[in-house]
Chains A and B, each alone.
Chain A
Amino acid sequence: MLGPVIAGLYGTVLPAFGHLPAAGLTGPTLDPFRSLFDWGGLGAAVRLSVTTGVLATGLSLLIVSFIVAGWSGTRSFRVLERLLSPLLSVPHAAAAFGLAFLIVPSGWLARMTSPWLTGWDRPPDVLIVQDPLGLAMVAGLVVKEVPFLLLMMIAAMGQAQPRRSLLVAQALGYGRVTGWLKTVFPRVYAQIRLPVYVVIGYSMSVVDVAVILGPSTPPTLSVQIVKWMSDPDLAMRLTGAAAALLQFALVVGVLVAWWLGERVVAALGRRWIASGRRGQTDTPGRVLGLWFGALSALSILLGLASLLVWSFAARWTFPNVLPDGFTLRSWDRHGPSAIATMGETFVIAGAAVGLALVLVLGCLEAEHRGGRQFGQRGLLLLYLPLLVPQTAFLPGLQTMLLSIGADMGQMPVVFAHLVFVLPYVFLSLGDPWRSWDARNATVAQALGASPWRVFWAVRLPMLTRPVLTALAVGVAVSVGQYLATLLIGGGRVSTLTTEAVALSSGGDRRAIGVYGLLQTLAALVPFTVALIVPTILWRNRRGLHD
């Protein structure tokens, strides 16, 4: 998967220095950078990208740490975990729309508190969504990254044996949160460092969430890059490529700064641990953690509910909490084309995920037969497409595809999706696949089964559930892809995500409701299937249900 990333970066570097033979331009020249630095909004756009990315990552990590520190192993924690895991698959765009519907001046929050609390009988004229500081965008990112980091942290904790450490710490007189932060967090953080970096890279360069919730004058750097890249004037592409390089440098810079920050925090943390202070701040930490965790889960759930309500709403006067009437009109009007788009979404997702699964299974099986795992370096390689900002290499990939004339139809989009689907399928399937008891293979071989028979007749059926879950993860990732579909599809391939985001500027909430809802369903249904199919398939096989 390095190929497309490197090709993409290469395809970004050339036009950034004025070399775009397809447009009859040959470099090298610094003009693209000159026109980039001439753009008045550059400072604000750069500042926005950095602040929203860092703020969203920091807040998510903080919330997740306090939830896990204060509550892991308790019943509330399991409830929260159950609540948050399915939310992981809700596409970013749908979550962002839902959040927007909640917090806009005419949204549910205002309606629920008006007029008895606020005194408003018409929506107040304040800018909440698309605020110039990008706070709404940060909120939109946090609600989606909290489930991601939480699940990553839970997975990492399995290996760290947190219960014992916490017991020892508590026996030594430490409170729950302090004890956890001092004994478990350092080990767990080392495990989730790469996912955290992924969140940073993603948050700094996200496009769909920024279009929906972020400011527009100027927008974040990524959004501006996409604008340039889709400008009919080919010269603007050069500026876009230069900006993409800047974006790449920004992410690298922030990652380095974050890495340095880790050292500082570690040094301070060591001093804190050595101080032996038992910490009195346990209760507020626990309460805040749980509140924010519940808040992020609730805002996605309520947001999705408001998408649902809007899609069936007839007239809806302010400040009524529910519409004045319900109607199927929006579904009649947008349903058929949305369903057709859903079909195309699934075709692309199916192809990308199918390819990914074949590659991942091949890789894991080769690893099993060769008897060696790939280590930390392999993991980094796997994460690379997720770390490199999409806005830095996708425009380059698009330019490259254009120049070799391979820019038509769904196939290039499928391959672009594969770049992002593959790592997630691998991460999802790798652990269960490797923890399968290899003595099963020894026994099967001793019974005369060839390696392929072991694979098809023993290993794959025994791992039905994780394989289906990995498929569902892959579909959710593919369904949620915005930039890859938009740029590589050249505007001729549309999925539910690109359609929904395209609607955001029009502000037709009923249409957004229809598309956002279908988008969520497209991501969630595979997870339901992954839960139900093994249950039915193995209904008489108790050994497969623990």
Chain B
Amino acid sequence: MTNGLTLRNVCILRAGSPLIEVDHVIAPGEVLTVMGPSGVGKSTLLAFITGTLAPAFKGMGTVELDGQDITHVPPHRRQIGILFQDDLLFPHMSVGANLAFGMPAGGSRAERRATIEAALDDVELAGYADRDPATLSGGQKARVALVRMLLSKPRALLLDEAFSRLDAELRAQVRDLVFRTARDRALPVLMVTHDAEDAAAAGGTLITLESLTKT
């Protein structure tokens, strides 16, 4: 049994012609960086892994998580966390409600509340549970989004240009936080980016996608 996230002979087709091909094993705690020009289908690869591929595309090959084939598991049962370049905190929920939304059900109200408080404390946002997400700064939102994702107990982590909206200083901070957390929790990470600095900071394997379709 292979631990980590395995992409076995993954090939994504658009209108019958191949768009991307990836065959790779991401070990727990490791980062795979995927780079390439925009439009090459990096986000499409992530959509295939989360199970939200648009019908215009066709995915082949298998996705395995800790040895289990999840290619046909519905998106909400995959336990794969994803961060986008926008925080995408749900605007109608408080910060705490956003976190509770992602937590697996179970435990008393007080226990859940305590977990949320502790998790916020970990990213220096103690006492923010009742805040409106719209009133947070960009860096704070990014941290809440990360915590929300971690509290859902993912077994792998996808980053879709996750740091590109943050300014240079904040970017390094948030990036370090994400990578450190992933390493501590032994999560396999797949990062899609067009930023060489992100790739360098990740330190893992780098694949550069090229356009397979001649245009």
Contact = CB atoms under 8 A, between A and B. Distances in A.
B134 A541 contact: yes
B132 A543 contact: yes
Contacts of B149: 446-447
Contacts of B90: 440, 444, 458, 462
Contact of A444 (B55, B56, B101, B134): B101
B85 to A, nearest CB: 10
A370 B102 contact: no
Interface stretch (B75-83, B167-175, B202-210): B75-83
Contacts of B193: none
B157 to A, nearest CB: 10
A437 interface: yes
A541 B135 CA distance: 9
B52 interface: yes
Interface in A419-461: 437, 439-451, 453, 457-458, 461
B91 interface: yes
B87 to A, nearest CB: 9
Contact of B76 (A437, A451, A462): A451
Interface string B40-61: 0000000100111011100000
A49 B79 CA distance: 64
Contacts of A445: 50-52, 75-76
A232 interface: no
B75 A446 contact: yes
A371 B55 CA distance: 6
Contact of A542 (B77, B86, B132, B152): B132
A275 interface: no
B91 to A, nearest CB: 3
Contact of A462 (B52, B55, B91, B101): B91
A538 B76 contact: no
A436 to B, nearest CB: 12
B88 A449 contact: no
Contacts of B80: 446
A372 interface: yes
A372 B57 CA distance: 12
B106 interface: no
A492 to B, nearest CB: 44
Nearest to B87: A443
B104 interface: yes
DSSP class of A's interface residues: helix, strand, loop or mixed? helix
B102 A447 contact: yes
Interface in B12-27: none
A371 B92 CA distance: 25
A221 B11 CA distance: 64
A544 interface: yes
A446 B152 contact: yes
Nearest to B145: A443
Interface centre among A370, A439, A444, A458, by most chain B C-beta atoms within 10 angstroms, is A439
Nearest to B90: A458
A505 interface: no
A353 B56 CA distance: 34
Interface string A535-546: 000101111100
Contacts of B101: 444, 447, 449, 457
A347 B86 CA distance: 44
B54 A371 contact: yes
A544 B75 contact: no
A446 B80 CA distance: 6
B75 A372 contact: no
A254 B149 CA distance: 59
Interface centre among B88, B91, B152, by most chain A C-beta atoms within 10 angstroms, is B91
Interface in A363-384: 370-372
B86 A439 contact: yes
Interface centre among A437, A442, A449, A457, by most chain B C-beta atoms within 10 angstroms, is A442
B59 to A, nearest CB: 13
B84 A439 contact: yes
Contact of A448 (B47, B51, B76): B76
Contacts of A540: 132
Nearest to A534: B92
A446 B88 CA distance: 12
Interface in A91-142: none
B34 to A, nearest CB: 18
Given A372-B55, A448-B152, A443 B88 contact: yes
A451 to B, nearest CB: 7
Contacts of A449: 76, 101
A291 B154 CA distance: 62
Nearest to A545: B134
A443 B86 CA distance: 11
Contacts of A446: 50, 75-76, 78, 80-82, 149, 152, 154, 158
A33 B91 CA distance: 63
Interface in B91-129: 91-92, 101-102, 104
Nearest to B157: A446
Contacts of B104: 448
B143 interface: no
Nearest to B56: A371
Nearest to A437: B88
Interface in B172-196: none
Given A446-B149, A447-B101, A541 B82 contact: no
A289 to B, nearest CB: 39
B91 A443 contact: no
B76 A543 contact: no
B92 A538 contact: yes
A371 B53 CA distance: 9
A450 B50 CA distance: 13
B82 A443 contact: yes
B82 A543 contact: no
Contacts of B4: none
25 contacts: A371-B55, A371-B56, A437-B86, A437-B88, A439-B84, A442-B47, A442-B75, A445-B75, A445-B76, A446-B50, A446-B80, A446-B154, A446-B158, A447-B81, A447-B148, A447-B149, A448-B76, A448-B102, A449-B76, A450-B74, A462-B90, A462-B92, A538-B92, A541-B91, A544-B92
Interface of B: 47, 50-52, 54-56, 74-82, 84, 86, 88-92, 101-102, 104, 132-135, 148-149, 152, 154, 158
Given A371-B55, A446-B75, A540-B132, 10 more contacts: A442-B75, A443-B82, A446-B76, A446-B152, A449-B76, A450-B74, A461-B92, A541-B91, A543-B91, A543-B132
3 closest A-B pairs by CB? A543-B91, A543-B134, A447-B102
